[in-house]
Structure 1
Amino acid sequence: MHNLDKVDLLKSDLNKLKPINFTYQKRIDEKFRLEFNYNSNHLEGNTLTYGETKLLLIFGDTQGSHQKREFDEMEAHDVAFNIVREWANDTERPLSENQIKELNEIILVKPFWKDAITNEGQQTRRQIKIGNYKEFPNSVILSNGEIFDYALPSETPRLMGELIDWYRHEEYVLNPVTLAAMLHYKFVRIHPFDDGNGRIARLLLNYVLLKFGFPPVVIKSSDKQNYLRALHIADLGDYTAFINYISEQLIWSLELSIKGARGESIEEQGDWEKQLEVLKKNYNYDKIKIRQRNSFAVFNEIYQRTIIPFVNLWQNKISKFDDLFEEKIVKIHIETDNGHITETGDNLLFFFDKVFQDSISKLGLIYEEIRFSVEFKNLKKSNISKNFSGGLIEFQFDEYSYEIDTLNTYSFIYGDYLSNEQIENIIDSFGKNLLKEINNQII
């Protein structure tokens, strides 16, 4: 049976069970609320566990070592989900660009600064403005290292207007599941905002489904690769794979809703694993606090398990560019509760090892930030006089966790580290961006 046919059959079965008992409906709504908020944010890097999400949204309490922004964005996403439900119930209100901008403003909470890369490949920081279309180009580095560019800022207002026109024309023409999937895809292909595009795409997807009487679709973060693969196939002009993918997720939602409407348990096989995840985190919490107090032990582990492997590989890879430039500059900056250390040199491994070892050996320091970068100056045999970025990496340390900012952001509790694969991917991206920057200058 075709996925869309199965969707229609299950929806018919669900309709026969309506009106659903109030208690059963409340249980179903809570399940979707938690699943959707947890997974949609987790897909974008939010580190709250399922249990912590439930504690926050249902009980208004917090737990675990996370940035305040992660809690704020989870709550804001929940507000956006409720608003989308209200819009879906108001069948007289047409979808508009202003509504989509409002969603962006809600989920991002407030303006913030984020690492970015210029068109020339330089590392920079930009303020993310909420509720406004992007002012700078955005792109994503694919798993094969290729750079996929979204719509240009100059094109975005026109394309968003055309998207809304398309939706209003097709709203009662296309099958609702096809309509929802295509709205999601077309929105993502434009990527109209500096941040929050994925979350808004999934909110819009569910706006359509809810409007036509379907339960929400939940894209599981554990299924991220299949989700992205279906989107990439759509980029080639074959939309069937993505529509089928959304249909498959909707079948899960319909089957869960039917079970719930019958008063059956809707706890899934994996729910106990989510609870175990929270138990483990709570079990280790005191150990984390004890290790955190011992500053030397904590930072020496990070140094040995992440920084040394990273710098070793970075030195080896980036040094391949040395003979193209007149000068290489290594900058290291360390912030502690007792001041800062800033040094500049030309040998990444030797120089960083010296500076960091001097710093880490000073017992009693509380480390707040470590930032190091590589820059090249002046291409040989050319008239080009400028700096070229060989990469920037920044460690931010909180009380019980730390964050690594580079081309992406990685969050860890103390005791967890970058994997070898993550290190290799970051440094490969440094090399590709530097090569692209050089080619842009010499062509």
Structure 2
Amino acid sequence: MTEPANIIKVNQLKAQLDDMRPLSRQAEDKLWQKLRLEWDFNSNHIEGNTLTYGETMLLLLHDKTTGDHQKREYDEMQAHDVAIHMVRDWAADKERDISEADIKNLNRIILVKPYWKEALTYDGQPTRRQILVGDYKQYPNSVRLKSGEMFHYATPEETPREMQELMDWYKENEIQHPVYLAAELHYRFIRIHPFDDGNGRVARLLVNYVLMRHGYTPIIIKSADKENYLTALQKADAGDRAAFWEYIAQQQIWSLELELKAAKGESIDEPEDIDKEIARLKKEHQQNTVIAANGLHDSIYHFIEGNIIPLFEEIDLRCSELSELFLRNERTIMIRTEKRGVRLITEEKSFQSLMKEILKIEKGKNSLIMDARYSFAFDGLKTAVEQFRIIIGLEVFFERFHVRIVSSSLGSDVIYPYSKTLSKPERLNLIAPQIKEVLNLVKQASDH
């Protein structure tokens, strides 16, 4: 049987590369940095992460953040980078076989911690489900196709058995061509969809584990090529498995050609790399311009006046309305500066006048504000026999390049640049989960 043209090309490039290995340390480091950043950025971007390539580079190479993203997006990008290094180490250890426990560990690492996510029931009804990390799914994770039909993966009951069968199949077929083996492992894994979330990222980690283990270059499935990637998977679902093998082979050709350039001492930069760098510098410049023009001190005060006062007013208004249901209530506003902390509890003054008074005092002293906090304590529900106390609030931290807002109900911190102006819906999204918590507790206590 004649090999497909893409596999013939892969074999030719691999043979050339083997003659030129090992690469110099400098070439190897530069190649790995590019592959690693492309892999992190594209695999996460396919799944909806909104960090740009430049923000990904800044985060992973310099441990700095910029941009208007949820903290979870930064956390998952860093966690995925940890998983990449782990897979690379596993592939280098020829005495070590990958296991189900390893695959579960990859899922645990890339998802960081449990969280809530919108989902569909088996019959296609919207629902909300807590995503548990590092273990197989407990509920069906069906998806709705463009046609409107539901596509069903393995059930939670079937998943442990099918994953064991997948691992047995993999060990029995390691003699296959690595590109076929990697592609087929990806396809079979996705058909099971063993986890509540993170299946695509884990599948792409497994592809590159197989390739690196057999001396091939890790591939990058570009987010810009997502439609072709999904089409190849859909063709495999329709019985044309070779379409997906061919797709993975095409990506392997790109990676092998990139490594050959590195081995020859040629530039491995691509035309789009220049565009990425320009976009990164423009965004960084735009953010730093705000701080440079105003100074960090004035940028903080501008953000407080334009965003934090309205945000705190939104939550204060709703807390005040709910306070009538309780026996005792206490509002606390705290602003911490470089030199001292300010703690005020008030019921007399309006919220806005109180905040502006504090700002005027601190601004007059040229005092750099480090953080601002609002909390409201509800104590003793008037209509309930069993009493409870609940405290809600927001913490705002003013950091070098961005503002970080923390709330236990958000699931992750939210990060904004100093140039950001929050709309009313954005402010409401920050406070709504906490208000709903109070309402639910009141309802539960009243029902009893």
TM over 0.5: yes
For normalisation by structure 1, the TM-score amounts to 0.66
CA shift at 1:24, angstroms?
0.8
Give the counterpart of 1:193 among 192, 195, 199.
195
Q: 1:255 to 1:117 in 2, by over 3 A?
A: same
1:3-53 deviation digits (Å, cap 9, x = unpaired): 000000001111111121111111111111111011101111111111111
1:387 equivalent in structure 2:
none
2:266 equivalent in structure 1:
264
1:138-167 deviation digits (Å, cap 9, x = unpaired): 022223333222111111011101100110
Amino acid at match of 1:246: I
Q: Secondary structure at the match of 1:113?
A: strand
1:409-435 deviation digits (Å, cap 9, x = unpaired): xx9996999xxxxxxxxxxxxxxxxxx
Please tell me whether residue 87 in structure 1 is matched to residue 66 in structure 2.
no
CA shift at 1:291, angstroms?
9.1
Alignment of 1:66-81 (within 5 A): 66-81=69-84
Amino acid at match of 2:279: E
2:244 equivalent in structure 1:
242
Hey, what's the Cα distance between the residues in 2 that align with 1:105 and 1:412?
A: 27
Hey, what's the Cα distance between the residues in 2 that align with 1:139 and 1:120?
A: 8
Hey, what's the Cα distance between the residues in 2 that align with 1:182 and 1:52?
A: 33
Hey, what's the Cα distance between the residues in 1 that align with 2:421 and 2:239?
A: 44
Q: Unpaired segments of 5 or more residues in structure 1? A: 300-333, 343-362, 366-397, 403-410, 418-443
Check the 8 A contact 1:233/1:239 in 2, yes or no: yes
1:221 equivalent in structure 2:
223
Check the 8 A contact 2:122/2:142 in 1, yes or no: no
Check the 8 A contact 1:134/1:193 in 2, yes or no: yes
Q: 1:335 to 1:92 in 2, by over 3 A?
A: farther
Hey, what's the Cα distance between the residues in 1 that align with 2:146 and 2:404?
A: 27
Alignment of 1:23-422 (within 5 A): 23-119=26-122, 121-172=124-175, 174-285=176-287, 294=306, 336=315, 338-339=317-318
Which one has a bigger Cα radius of gyration? 2
Hey, what's the Cα distance between the residues in 2 that align with 1:141 and 1:341?
A: 43
Deviates more, 1:53-62 or 1:109-118: 109-118
RMSD: 3.3
Equivalent pairs, count: 326
For normalisation by structure 2, the TM-score amounts to 0.66
Give the counterpart of 1:12 among 12, 15, 20.
15
Q: 1:144 to 1:293 in 2, by over 3 A?
A: farther
CA shift at 1:229, angstroms?
0.4
Hey, what's the Cα distance between the residues in 2 that align with 1:21 and 1:237?
A: 44
Check the 8 A contact 1:40/1:199 in 2, yes or no: yes
Hey, what's the Cα distance between the residues in 1 that align with 2:195 and 2:314?
A: 33
Hey, what's the Cα distance between the residues in 2 that align with 1:293 and 1:247?
A: 55
Hey, what's the Cα distance between the residues in 1 that align with 2:174 and 2:94?
A: 12
CA shift at 1:226, angstroms?
0.3
Hey, what's the Cα distance between the residues in 2 that align with 1:208 and 1:159?
A: 20
Q: Secondary structure at the match of 1:339?
A: helix
Q: 1:122 to 1:231 in 2, by over 3 A?
A: closer
Check the 8 A contact 1:292/1:400 in 2, yes or no: no
Check the 8 A contact 1:65/1:400 in 2, yes or no: no
Hey, what's the Cα distance between the residues in 2 that align with 1:401 and 1:273?
A: 29
1:270-298 deviation digits (Å, cap 9, x = unpaired): 001112222343344367987996569x9
Check the 8 A contact 2:307/2:421 in 1, yes or no: no
Of all paired residues, the percent bearing the same amino acid is 52
Q: Secondary structure at the match of 2:15?
A: helix
Check the 8 A contact 1:65/1:401 in 2, yes or no: no
Check the 8 A contact 2:220/2:255 in 1, yes or no: yes
Q: 1:9 to 1:127 in 2, by over 3 A?
A: same
Hey, what's the Cα distance between the residues in 2 that align with 1:87 and 1:246?
A: 21
Deviates more, 1:196-205 or 1:44-53: 44-53
Hey, what's the Cα distance between the residues in 2 that align with 1:400 and 1:144?
A: 42
Q: 1:236 to 1:415 in 2, by over 3 A?
A: farther
Q: Secondary structure at the match of 1:134?
A: coil
